[in-house]
Amino acid sequence: MKPILFILLAATILIFAVRILHAGETAAPANAVRVACVGDSITYGARIFNREAKCYPTQLGVLLGTNYSVKNFGVNGATLLKHGDIPYWQMRAFKAAQVFKPDVAVINLGANDAAVYNWIYKYEFVRDYIELIRSFQSNSCATVWICYPTPTYPGPYDFTDPIVVNEIIPMINEIARQTGAKIIDLYRPLSGKPELFPDTVHPNADGARLMAEAVFSAITAKAD
């Protein structure tokens, strides 16, 4: 009887672990539109209380409803730059996002690239971003959205808002022109709202809600 009890106990633990792993994911039918949220800690939802339920991808999934399947492929500290300190390219989440075969990809990278020790490779930013977009477009992803990074506020982190505004955002405009990717402005909706950034870099749940609303509006807007 002891081996049987052990097996039952192990199975119970496994089921519980799977439920935790998938907590916050949007239930959707098999033919749902697959949306991959690709990004760094801001996409992941770092430092948000009850992250699984309050990160922007989960809130986006609620807004979109059950005809969409939204998954979070954010990685803490990730950079767009291949020569950055934590390249998204080397993360398991990147491969998982490709395997997911999204119909829509929403890419929000660049905040960590603005750190001075990463931005020394800024001349590779456009090239690397175009390659990332092409990796989804060549994987049957119908629509790729690329986001202006959210603002950063003065604080203990070595990120600089002027780099985002004066260099990264213009580069994103050029990247969109070259690839046909569409742009979502996450900078303006959160600009001038330092109260939504408790650590000056990561938005809280209310900030994540504003992000989700901006992405929702873009995805669901009717083409002109």
Q: List C-alpha distances in Å: 187 to 27, 31, 40, 101, 153.
A: 29, 33, 15, 28, 12
pLDDT of residue 23: 45
Residue 130 identity: I
Distance CA 86, CA 82 (A): 8
Phi (first) and psi of residue 220, to 5 degrees: -95, -5
27-65 confidence digits (pLDDT tens): 568 899 999 999 999 999 999 999 999 999 999 999 999
Token pair for 1? 């009887």
| For residue 15, pLDDT beyond 60 | no
Considering only 142-146, 195-199, 206-210, 218-222, which range has the smallest mean pLDDT?
218-222
Domains, the chain, ranges and CATH? 25-220 (3.40.50.1110)
The pLDDT of residue 17: 43
Report the pLDDT value the prediction gives residue 155, as an integer from 0 to 100: 86
| Spatial distance between the Cα atoms of 182 and 139, rounded to a whole number of angstroms | 17
**Count of residues in the chain:** 224
Kindly report the pTM of this predicted structure: 0.87
Name the band, by pLDDT with cuts 50, 70 and 90, for residue 160. Answer: confident
Q: Is residue 103 over pLDDT 70? A: yes
Q: Report percent pLDDT > 70 for the chain.
A: 86
Question: In degrees rounded to 5, what are phi and psi of residue 47?
Answer: 70, 10
Judged against a pLDDT cut of 70, whether residue 18 lies above it is answered with: no
Sheet strands (E) in the chain: 33-39, 68-74, 104-108, 143-148, 182-185
Q: What is the pLDDT of residues 175-184, one digit of tens each?
A: 999 999 999 9
Of residues 71 and 116, the one with the higher pLDDT is 71
pLDDT at 16: 43
Residue 36 has what pLDDT?
A: 98
Instruction: Output the average pLDDT for the chain.
Output: 90
